[in-house]
Amino acid sequence: MLIFIGTLLISASLCVNASVEKPQKPKVRGLKEFLSSGHEVITTGLIPADEKTRFFVIGDFGSFTKHFGLQKSAQMMEGLASRKEFSHIITVGDNFYMNGIPDINQLWHPQSIMEVFNGPHASLLPFYATLGNHDCYSDYHNEILFSDYNRQWQMPSDYYELITPLKDNSGKYFVNLMLNSCKLMCFDDKWAGKYCKKMNTGSGSEAVLEHYKWLEEKLQKYSMEDSTAWLAVTLHHPPFLENALKEHFLPLIRKYKVDFIFTGHQHWADYANMDPDYITRFPPEEPQVINNCSKAKEFLFIENRDHTFYKGEKLHQILSGNGGTFLRKICPIKEQDGDLYFRNKGYNGVVAVEATKEKVTISYHRDVNDIVYQVNVINP
C-alpha cells in the first residue's frame, strides 16, 4: 500500500514537468516503426524468444478509485511477461476515468495510471489504445497527443490498423482493426442519440460515416489477403450486447468473417460466440432472464472452462472489461445475442492472447498461474 502511494506521489510530481515538455521515447518503438519492421517483432530481449506471438487485452482500467484492481492487473501482466515473451498491450477503452484527458497540459492522472505498469518487463511493452465512452466525454484527441508524452502510449489516430507479424516464420499476420466505438455507436440516433451527444459525436455525421467506410474497406482488404492469418477488431462497446451496433456494425463484421472481437465496457470478463447463420433476436424480441441470481460472481453456461473451435466455426467475442475499475453486478443474467458461455465479476485481471498461424489461445487470467477460462481456435 505504502509503495503504491509512493509511486503515485512520485509520478504526480514528475508529470508536472512531463506536461510541458515532451519526453524522448527511446525504449518502446512507435506504430510507424512497428508496421515498417516487416517480420521483425518487438522483443523485450529479457527472456528467450519462441515462435508464439503474444499480447495482452486490458479494458476499463484507468482509475484509482479501486486502485488495488489496477495494481493487480498490472502485476499480473508483469508476472506473465517475465515468463513468456509478449509483444504489446491493446486497450479496449475507458482508458482514463472519468473523462479521458480533458487537458493535454494536465497529465498527472494519465501519467500516474501508466506509472503503475512500471515492472521491468511490462514497462517495455507498447500500449495500442482504443477509445471508450469515458475517453470521449472530453476531447479524445488528447489521448492521441498523449502518445508524445508517454513512452508506452501509442495511439496514432482514433482508429487505425495494427498488423502484427506472427513469429512462427509463416509470413502471416494477426490483423487487428483498432476502432473508435464512440463513432461506431452513432450510425444514427435510433438507439444512442443522447449518449452520442455526451460522447461528443454527431449521430450519422460525416465523421461517423467515414469511419464505417474505412472499416468496410479494411475488412474487404484483409479478409481477401493470403497473409492474414487472423482477423480481429477491437472496440469498446460489445456488439453482441449493444443495440446500436447490431444493425450496421455487426453485419459488416460477420460478412467479412472476422475471427475475434476484443471488447470491454461492461466491468466484468466474459466470453460469447455467434454462429455464422445466427439471426439477431434482441430487439425485436425482449431478452428473458436465464439465471435469476442475486449475488453470483460467475456464470458458466457449460461446466467446462476450456473450449476449442475451428476457425470460421464461430465469431468470438472476448470481453475484457475488468482491468482496474469497480466490478459490475452480473445478476440477474439475461439472454443476449450469440451464445454466452462465461461471465465473471469476481476479479480484476487481463486477457492474454497467444497466436501462431495454426492456433490462437485466449486466456482469461485471474492471476499469473490462474486461468479462469480459456478458448482455443484452430486453423487446420
Strands (E), 201-305: 228-234, 260-263, 269-274, 289-291, 298-300
Cα–chain-centroid distance for residue 198?
Answer: 22
Output the smallest distance, CB 18 to Fe ion, in A: 26
Comparison of 167 and 265: residue with beta carbon closer to Fe ion:
265
Output the smallest distance, CB 181 to Fe ion, in A: 8
Residues 338-377 interacting with Fe ion (rule: CB under 5 A): none
Output the smallest distance, CB 60 to Fe ion, in A: 6
Output the smallest distance, CB 321 to Fe ion, in A: 8
Comparison of 85 and 94: residue with beta carbon closer to Fe ion:
94
Comparison of 96 and 146: residue with beta carbon closer to Fe ion:
96
Comparison of 169 and 200: residue with beta carbon closer to Fe ion:
200
Using the rule CB under 5 A, which residue among 109, 172, 211, 265 binds Fe ion? 265
Comparison of 130 and 363: residue with beta carbon closer to Fe ion:
130
What distances in angstroms separate CA 379 from CA 160, 258, 308, 359, 360, one per listed residue? 26, 14, 11, 6, 9
Using a 10 angstrom Cβ sphere, with 0-12 exposed, 13-18 middle and 19 or more buried, the burial of residue 298 is middle
Output the smallest distance, CB 366 to Fe ion, in A: 22
Output the smallest distance, CB 137 to Fe ion, in A: 10
Is residue 324 at the binding interface for Fe ion, with CB under 5 A as the rule? Answer: no
CA–CA separation, 40 and 20 (whole Å): 34
CA–CA separation, 83 and 211 (whole Å): 38
Output the smallest distance, CB 320 to Fe ion, in A: 12
Output the smallest distance, CB 94 to Fe ion, in A: 4
Comparison of 58 and 360: residue with beta carbon closer to Fe ion:
58
- Nearest CA among 169, 173, 207 for reference residue 187: 207
User: Segment contacting Fe ion (CB under 5 A): 63-71, 82-90, 128-136, 328-336?
Assistant: 128-136
Contact 347, 286 (CB under 8 A): no
- Phi, psi at 247, each rounded to 5°: -80, -40
CA–CA separation, 14 and 12 (whole Å): 5
Which amino acid is present at 309?
F
Residues 80-99 interacting with Fe ion (rule: CB under 5 A): 94
* Binding-residue total with Fe ion (CB under 5 A): 4
Comparison of 109 and 121: residue with beta carbon closer to Fe ion:
109
Is residue 135 at the binding interface for Fe ion, with CB under 5 A as the rule? Answer: no
Residue 131 per-residue DSSP state? B
Output the smallest distance, CB 244 to Fe ion, in A: 13
Is residue 132 at the binding interface for Fe ion, with CB under 5 A as the rule? Answer: yes
Three-state SS at 108? helix
Cα–chain-centroid distance for residue 240?
Answer: 15
Using the rule CB under 5 A, which residue among 71, 123, 130, 133 binds Fe ion? 133
Comparison of 94 and 242: residue with beta carbon closer to Fe ion:
94
- Nearest CA among 52, 45, 67 for reference residue 112: 67
Using a 10 angstrom Cβ sphere, with 0-12 exposed, 13-18 middle and 19 or more buried, the burial of residue 48 is exposed
Is residue 337 at the binding interface for Fe ion, with CB under 5 A as the rule? Answer: no
Comparison of 81 and 233: residue with beta carbon closer to Fe ion:
233
CA–CA separation, 134 and 141 (whole Å): 13
Is residue 267 at the binding interface for Fe ion, with CB under 5 A as the rule? Answer: no
- What DSSP element (H or E) covers 330? none
CB closest to Fe ion, residue no: 265
* Residues lying near Fe ion in the complex (CB under 5 A): 94, 132-133, 265
